[in-house]
Amino acid sequence: MPGAEGAAVPRPGYGRLLRTPGVWTFLLPGFAARQPFAMLTIGIVLLVQHTTGSYGSAGAVAAVTGVSMALFAPQGGKLADRFGQRAVLVPGVLLHTVSVAALIGLALAGAPLWALFVAAVPTGASVPQVGPMVRARWAAVLGGTSPTSPGSRAHRSTGASALLPTAAAFESVTDEFTFVIGPVLATALCTGVHPAAGLIAEAVLTLAGGLLFAAQRHTQPQPNGRGAGASAAARTSALSVPGVRVLIVAFLGIGSVFGGMQVSLTAFAAEIGDPGANGVLYGIFAAGNMLAGIVCGAVAWKVGPRRRLMVGYAGLTLAASTLWAVDSVPLLAGLGLLVGLCIAPALITGYTLVESLVPASARTEAFTWLTGAVALGQAAAVTLAGQLADAHGASAGFVVPLLGTALALATLVMLRSRLAPTVPGLVAMRVMSHRAPVTVD
């Protein structure tokens, strides 16, 4: 970058990001409230398997929960944009706590499978979307749209919006960290305390963390739908933005990697007679994701986010395309690390693009669509990879990440023009608010 631009926009970094006034008030309760997201599925599987003796039934109940969450989460995000995060989060966490309690009670009472399915629907639908809400708060605080954020021209001239990619990277690392420790915590509670202990802890953390997070009103984005005078733009759905629909396809492909890796690594470990290898292999995969996320947030990128997404996704597809051909633990560990390294840049850049594609009035909804797409892609991949692994072995299951990412990459290539900012004035306000021009790819 030219010297003048470098002076206008200080190099982004985690230290500067975390010194942003007010962020710790929502980061700490937000971390507690989003931890249960990684505990729910494994908690359901372990409890239902214990009460029914069937992994198939346990997986089916967990799948209903995941699909319900993917379908209802964007609606919750849209309501949060319109009426405020607190207005949606408080009744949401209360409903979720009651639903989880009902599911636990039915399972322990030996209720029929259909009753567990019925309870699983509100359990999944009410999962609080704290991750997207935290991302929306970062965008509000750094972009000057929260009630008390310094959104003046002077603030924007400091280049606070240059920290948005760093914030996206920080959130990606946080998400991955929760998915490393959450399942371990739930498993330890279910196996060492009581089969229902994992879900009980999930409900308690959701209730306590969610209410504490909702109490932080001063950092939440301004609601846009109050009163009869709300503008048509404020009522626009994020799904009406073409770029968001393209990103949803990309995130479905990323979900196929998560789901395909989980099932196929488990099958591979069973095939070689070493079930314990599954945890090591998946841990290496997750470590690659975390490492890449940390690095992405510390880099001052000179390339636009659209081009970064295209290059990163091509790398992810290439890495995933060789998984099916590997038949040794060391090679699979190395390749899993490479796949993990490629996921974080694609995820981070996708979330960063939301800032330039979607107005603040629909940003929480947009983030929930992307999060739901990952969950939906993961659920579909788990089902397909499981069937392939059962019929043809673990190698066949590894074909699912290849198919998912290849189809998504083809969509990105064909529709890449839709990832260019199209909202009038949004780039000038949110991305290029400092004096020196920055090329948005």
In the numeric block, the tokens 């900012």 are attached to 421
- Mean pLDDT for 199-212 is 90
Planar angle of CA 267, 272, 274, nearest 5 degrees: 85
Q: What is the pLDDT of residue 409?
A: 93
Start and end residues for every CATH 1.20.1250.20 domain found in the chain: 1-223, 236-435
**Per-residue confidence at 146, pLDDT binned at 50, 70, 90?**
low
CA dist list (Å): 83 to 88, 200, 256, 280: 8, 30, 33, 44
Q: What is the pLDDT of residue 99?
A: 93
Closest CA to 224 of 343, 381, 358: 358
Q: What is the pLDDT of residue 300?
A: 66
Question: Cα dihedral sign for 316, 249, 221, 205?
Answer: negative
- Mean pLDDT for 183-205 is 84
Q: What is the mean pLDDT of the chain?
A: 77
Between these two residues, 254 and 73, which has the higher pLDDT value?
A: 254
What is the percent of the chain where pLDDT is above 70?
81
**Which residues contact residue 23 at a Cβ distance below 8 angstroms, ignoring those fewer than 6 apart?**
17, 138, 141, 219
Please write the tens of the pLDDT for every residue from 395-413. Answer: 888 898 999 999 999 999 9
Q: What is the pLDDT of residue 114?
A: 92
Q: Is the pLDDT of residue 40 over 70?
A: yes
Closest CA to 44 of 108, 129, 126, 88: 108
Residue 21's CB is within 10 A of a number of other CB atoms, namely 11
Structure tokens at 433: 């608010």
Structure tokens at 56: 């198939």
Residue 227's CB is within 10 A of a number of other CB atoms, namely 7
Q: What is the pLDDT of residue 154?
A: 40
Q: What is the pLDDT of residue 228?
A: 42
Closest CA to 206 of 104, 121, 102, 128: 128
Alpha carbons 13 and 1: distance in angstroms, whole number:
17
Please write the tens of the pLDDT for every residue from 166-180. Answer: 777 787 777 767 766
Q: What is the pLDDT of residue 395?
A: 85
Q: What is the pLDDT of residue 226?
A: 52
Q: Is the pLDDT of residue 11 over 60?
A: no
Between these two residues, 300 and 170, which has the higher pLDDT value?
A: 170
Contact between residue 332 and residue 268 where contact means Cβ atoms under 8 Å apart: yes
Biggest CA-to-CA distance, the chain: 69
| Fold held by 236-435 | Growth Hormone; Chain: A; (1.20.1250)
Q: Choose which CATH entry (1.10.10.1590, 3.30.1330.90, 1.20.1250.20, 3.40.1170.10) describes domain 1-223.
A: 1.20.1250.20
Alpha carbons 24 and 32: distance in angstroms, whole number:
13
CA dist list (Å): 378 to 236, 259, 422: 28, 4, 30
Please write the tens of the pLDDT for every residue from 310-364. Answer: 888 999 999 988 888 877 788 888 888 899 888 888 888 888 788 778 776 777 7
Residue 321's CB is within 10 A of a number of other CB atoms, namely 16
Residue 192's CB is within 10 A of a number of other CB atoms, namely 8
Q: What is the pLDDT of residue 160?
A: 57
Q: Is the pLDDT of residue 128 over 50?
A: yes
**Which residues contact residue 193 at a Cβ distance below 8 angstroms, ignoring those fewer than 6 apart?**
none
- Mean pLDDT for 274-281 is 72
Alpha carbons 121 and 37: distance in angstroms, whole number:
15
Alpha carbons 165 and 181: distance in angstroms, whole number:
25
